[in-house]
Structure 1
Amino acid sequence: MVQKKKYGSLVYLGGLLLIIFYLIPYFMLGKQASFRITDFLDDEVIQYMLSGKYFFTGFNTKVAEWFNGADKFAIQPPCFLLIWPFYFLSFYKAVMVSVILGEFFAYTGMFLLVQKIFKGEYPAVTMTISFLFSILPFYPSYGLSSIGIPLVVWAFWEVSEKKHIILAYMTICFWGLYSSLVWSGYFIIGFALIFAFFLFVKKRKRCGLRVFFGSLVLTVTYVFTFKDTIYGIFFSGVESHRNTPGRVYVPARFKDTFVSLFKYGQYHAPSYHTYIMAGSLLVIILVLFLLYVSPRSRIVKNKWFLAATLWAGAVIIAVFSAFYQSEAGYWLRGHLGVLQSVQLDRVYWLYPTIWYTEAAVCMAIFYDLCKVYVRKSIACKALYCIEIVGVLVFMVPYLIGKNTEYKSNLSRIMGKDNGLVSYKEYYDEKLFAEIKDYIHLEPAQYRVVCLGLAPAVASANGLYTLDAYSTNYSLDYKMKFRKVIAAELDKNADLEWYFDSWGNRCYLFSAELGKSWDVNKEEPAYVSNWEINTQALKELASETNMKTYILSAAEIRNAMDIGLNCIKEFDQPDSYRHIYLYSIL
């Protein structure tokens, strides 16, 4: 037994070495490395940065860096623990820490879960699947919301069996601190309560009570980490921008959503499980046949049942999510009162955990069948090795191929630049330092708005923006900002729906640019008929008497016609953008 644990620990460490090797491109490239832009560099990291700065302030504190004084709940980041790297470290180092921690906990959580399922058997399978799971292109900004689900499942399982009870409860609390209530936390709590109820029904009351207490620990943790959001919703008296009058929901076709989700997963919780789905279905059908024709196959009966259950669970999730987003689903949600805005379809965040656990179970079934039907032990072990190596050789390049940023980093190391923006290029720190020097005021003494680039770029460089990406800000501010861009929204029905019915991106829109907020000088852009209400823009900063500038990555050719003056252009040989600085006349 001791020898098995020691071997399991060595295998675990071997997987960690693979992860370190996988991360080498990031260490080699430094700020020249590429990271996810959408929902990471272009918004979430700024919320972490600001949350650290304002963490020790009161509920009613105004965040001067956003919207000329945003409510504190507007900067609520997904995960509490990720605030602190951005508080104590430089911005780039904090980004790197979020990536490294994500890889580590994804691997460790899946290793613990699969190891528990197999009771310490099949260590090579456990390591292989855990490593593949860890290199899925997750969003670092969401912490353990998706990549950490195996870890919290393991913890609740341990609690139910009264094993490592203190460690398990601490893990549940840790997961709550390092995950998001609104992304996956609420359904993990829900499943934990269902599990507790099931244990009560099975007359295992003490087990049920322990699991129920675990769900309470997780709930209390979320109340602490999301206290600003809870205050904003229930006690601030501020109406959220999500409650826009006349907000229009566009239902999706049930069939399209089901097929897309079931075959490919969802981009916020990528699983890239198409081959796993096909392979596991073949294994399930094959074993079903063998169970019927050969009593010797009963050795895999329990594993077959688990594999079939996981597969069925994936189908149910896809059906539920597709229904929830369909016309019938929207009709039903319209009768749920306050629950209608809760995205229950996010249960699809379980997909990576389900499908990679499925892969592990099917690989174990293959080995068990080899032991039954291949008489020579050495031949059986050879087939097992071929299985492990084959899965790694096929899946590692496949998953890397799905990770655009990682592929770009490999290309850059080999001296081939595929054009994907790097961290250094995206934030253009030297260029923005020149802009700030030219304005020659403290950033707190003026405000900026951005066209053709995400406001997060300006925020990361220490500027105070009137625009930003926020999942929950004041409806009053949204309506004031809408006056600025109303004429542009009228020209483009897609942008109008995008802002009015969603509005998390409170940006300067242009009908000519569409949703291009990453314009670079290699592909220069311009707007020739931009119509914004400059008076309304002035009024956004008038309460604090702040001078306002427009930072544009696109040339505004009718600037003088709408009351703007281009006071300087900024460009550097190694800058990603050519920035036009406009003042309001």
Structure 2
Amino acid sequence: MVIDTKKERRLIFFALIVLAIYLSPLFILQENAHIRVHDNLDSNLAWYKVLAKSEEMFGAVNGAIPQIINGQLSRNAFGTEYSVIVWLYALFPTMTAYAFSQALTRIVAFFGMYLLLKKHFLPGERWLILQIGASLAFALTPFWPSGMLSTLGMPLALWAFLNIRNGEGTWKDYLALTIIPLYASIVLGFFFFLSAMGIVWLWDVLRGKGWNLRFLLSIGYMTIIFVMVEYRLVYSFLFFKELNSRDEYFHANLPFWRSVRLFIKNYLLGHTHVMTLHTLLIVPATFIAIYFVYTKKLWRQEKIFAFLFGLNILLSFWYAFWFYEGWLPLTKKFHFMDTFNFARYHFLRPLVIYASFALALKIISLQGINWAKMAKWIIVLQIVFLGLWNDEIIYKDKPTVQEFFAEDLFHEIKEHIGKKQEEYRIASIGIHPAVAQYNGFYTIDTYNNFYPLSYKHQFRKIIEKELAKNKTIRKYFDKWGGRCYIFTAQLGKRYMIKKDSKRHLKNLELNTDVFKEMGGRYIFSAIPIDNAEQNHLMLDKVFVSKTAAWKIYLYKTL
């Protein structure tokens, strides 16, 4: 079949224009852009800057980041120096790096899904619009920014693996398998993807299709590349003997019916780290398609779609029931089941959902002219819907990047204190510690899920009385502890209190003696502390700026 390359190029060019429009606010607005805060501004973006300035980019595997928690945060907690994203933030200003990362990820996502659909799932010029439309939609999904290609690179990797599995592998496939690990995380997607490929290989063997050593070796090859790139993670997992904060992470705590509810919620709405926005259009489309498959007995012809439909349900079920309390006997016996998040097999869902979406639209299109028109409208509406979920729209009520990090305001605070930042330690109340860290302050608080358990227990003494007053934050800190924050019973889990807040902290009870023992000298509070003296604190000065989201009440210890 001769493919109309002109039409193909026109549609690809149109898709890239749409992607460029989608990404344009990041490049145009830069620090005035609105982007995701959770697991982004409140953590990763600050971590990249801290790492770049720490002189620990190539630090030893037993090295530490001196700026955070008194140098007890392992260098390995900030990931590998062989990741492209780390170098983007080391070489460019924050928002330039962020914009480049978004563009790179989405372009690879588009072409990866297009190659996969065109070659393996939806071949044929007839389906060109569906191939490119589904690929564009996939590339517009609001993925977790620091995940990079951890999920959005899976279609490209699957395309390469299927080529090799079918005996059609070329240097391009091995190049893809080599490059992806440099811009993805094994624990945030590819451990689960590679183990799934292993299952596919084993299934082929059990069905009598032979050992297919080339396919098996390609899986091993990509795994080895990941291990080499993520050598810090591997070292920490195998050789770190000191207990860390993940050793007090307990996931199996949901009763049966709450697990069922979580299964339904995840299936219909997705998860914040792998958002697919599939509820309104993709779910109905796939159910319409499965109806036609069932009523017209198309199971053999549409076996790939049927498999993906079932796999999608299974992945949500697995995610939800990973938190079922019935796992407790096993987690007590096998501790790694708590420290490693096996629920993340659901990170396969973006690939599964959008591949099945394309196949569902094909099945619908085959039912007649009107059905075919409806299929095209569904894909157009999905793309429009995803466009409306642009960060600049969704997060318009959140602080801009400039307002969040408030560099001018914190420079003023630094100048007022008048000491070298490494000579004293601070903690924050009502704002994320990442803000202070981004601005060069040395903090005893942090957001990280891999730090010494002994530090967590020592830090807990500072907020012990506050935790006793509030069950929510007590459970949040004790059973997870990734946010090693100065929690207060009054504020609970609110740590983004803007400068227009009228709140006051009343009846605060901190153990300031422990705070000082840990090097703490100043507290950056987003609101005034009414009983500061009872906590051996003194208000030094209040800082406010037009370009900052926060008003900072600077307290120093007595």
- What TM-score comes out, normalization by structure 2 length? 0.92
1:5 deviation in Å? Answer: 4.8
Cα deviation code 1:328-386 (max 9, x no counterpart): 2344444444334332221111222112111111222233343xxxxxxxxx5x97466
Q: Which residue number in structure 1 is paired with residue 284 of structure 2? A: 278
Q: Which residue number in structure 1 is paired with residue 108 of structure 2? A: 105
Q: Which residue number in structure 2 is paired with residue 150 of structure 1? A: 155
The worse-fitting range, judged by mean Cα deviation, of 40-49 and 478-487 is: 40-49
Asked if the contact 2:252/2:327 (under 8 Å) is kept, the reply is: no
Q: Do structure 1's residue 172 and structure 2's residue 216 form an aligned pair?
A: no
Q: State the SS of the aligned residue for 2:29.
A: helix
| Match 1:407 to one of 389, 393, 397 | 393
Q: Which residue number in structure 2 is paired with residue 509 of structure 1? A: 487
Q: Which residue number in structure 1 is paired with residue 236 of structure 2? A: 232
1:511-526 to structure 2, matched below 5 A, reads 511-526=489-504
Q: State the SS of the aligned residue for 1:269.
A: coil
Q: Which residue number in structure 1 is paired with residue 138 of structure 2? A: 133
Cα deviation code 1:373-408 (max 9, x no counterpart): xxxxxxx5x9746642x12442234334555x3315
Q: Which residue number in structure 1 is paired with residue 85 of structure 2? A: 82
Q: Which residue number in structure 1 is paired with residue 204 of structure 2? A: 199
Q: Do structure 1's residue 220 and structure 2's residue 206 form an aligned pair?
A: no
In the alignment, the residues of structure 2 paired with residue 519 and residue 328 of structure 1 have an alpha-carbon distance, to the nearest angstrom, of 38
Q: Which residue number in structure 2 is paired with residue 448 of structure 1? A: 426
Q: State the SS of the aligned residue for 2:426.
A: strand
Q: Which runs of 5+ in 1 are unaligned?
A: 292-299, 371-379, 410-417, 542-546
Asked if the contact 1:126/1:360 (under 8 Å) is kept, the reply is: yes
The worse-fitting range, judged by mean Cα deviation, of 5-14 and 94-103 is: 5-14
Asked if the contact 1:280/1:359 (under 8 Å) is kept, the reply is: yes
Asked if the contact 2:448/2:482 (under 8 Å) is kept, the reply is: yes
Q: Do structure 1's residue 465 and structure 2's residue 467 form an aligned pair?
A: no
Asked if the contact 2:422/2:442 (under 8 Å) is kept, the reply is: yes
In the alignment, the residues of structure 2 paired with residue 5 and residue 156 of structure 1 have an alpha-carbon distance, to the nearest angstrom, of 25
Q: State the SS of the aligned residue for 2:70.
A: coil
In the alignment, the residues of structure 1 paired with residue 311 and residue 186 of structure 2 have an alpha-carbon distance, to the nearest angstrom, of 22
In the alignment, the residues of structure 1 paired with residue 157 and residue 259 of structure 2 have an alpha-carbon distance, to the nearest angstrom, of 31
- Alignment-mate amino acid for residue 361 of structure 2: M
Asked if the contact 1:193/1:211 (under 8 Å) is kept, the reply is: no
- Alignment-mate amino acid for residue 355 of structure 1: I
The alpha-carbon distance between structure 1 residues 244 and 287, as it changes in their structure 2 partners (threshold 3 A), is: closer
Cα deviation code 1:189-220 (max 9, x no counterpart): 211211222333445446x3222222222222
The alpha-carbon distance between structure 1 residues 48 and 484, as it changes in their structure 2 partners (threshold 3 A), is: same
In the alignment, the residues of structure 1 paired with residue 95 and residue 138 of structure 2 have an alpha-carbon distance, to the nearest angstrom, of 25
1:345-356 to structure 2, matched below 5 A, reads 345-356=343-354
1:154 deviation in Å? Answer: 1.3
| Match 2:309 to one of 292, 307, 311 | 311
1:49 deviation in Å? Answer: 3.0
Q: Which runs of 5+ in 2 are unaligned?
A: none
- Alignment-mate amino acid for residue 570 of structure 1: F
Q: Which residue number in structure 2 is paired with residue 242 of structure 1? A: 246
The alpha-carbon distance between structure 1 residues 234 and 579, as it changes in their structure 2 partners (threshold 3 A), is: same
- What TM-score comes out, normalization by structure 1 length? 0.88
The alpha-carbon distance between structure 1 residues 303 and 134, as it changes in their structure 2 partners (threshold 3 A), is: farther
1:164 deviation in Å? Answer: 4.5
The alpha-carbon distance between structure 1 residues 49 and 163, as it changes in their structure 2 partners (threshold 3 A), is: farther
Asked if the contact 1:400/1:407 (under 8 Å) is kept, the reply is: no
In the alignment, the residues of structure 1 paired with residue 240 and residue 407 of structure 2 have an alpha-carbon distance, to the nearest angstrom, of 36
In the alignment, the residues of structure 2 paired with residue 79 and residue 349 of structure 1 have an alpha-carbon distance, to the nearest angstrom, of 23
Asked if the contact 2:57/2:81 (under 8 Å) is kept, the reply is: no
In the alignment, the residues of structure 1 paired with residue 448 and residue 495 of structure 2 have an alpha-carbon distance, to the nearest angstrom, of 16
1:517 deviation in Å? Answer: 0.8
Q: Do structure 1's residue 63 and structure 2's residue 65 form an aligned pair?
A: yes
In the alignment, the residues of structure 2 paired with residue 438 and residue 368 of structure 1 have an alpha-carbon distance, to the nearest angstrom, of 71
1:181 deviation in Å? Answer: 1.9
In the alignment, the residues of structure 2 paired with residue 78 and residue 532 of structure 1 have an alpha-carbon distance, to the nearest angstrom, of 38
In the alignment, the residues of structure 2 paired with residue 333 and residue 445 of structure 1 have an alpha-carbon distance, to the nearest angstrom, of 43
In the alignment, the residues of structure 2 paired with residue 68 and residue 398 of structure 1 have an alpha-carbon distance, to the nearest angstrom, of 46
Q: Which residue number in structure 2 is paired with residue 396 of structure 1? A: 383
In the alignment, the residues of structure 1 paired with residue 39 and residue 122 of structure 2 have an alpha-carbon distance, to the nearest angstrom, of 36
- Alignment-mate amino acid for residue 560 of structure 1: E
In the alignment, the residues of structure 2 paired with residue 106 and residue 177 of structure 1 have an alpha-carbon distance, to the nearest angstrom, of 15
1:92 deviation in Å? Answer: 2.1
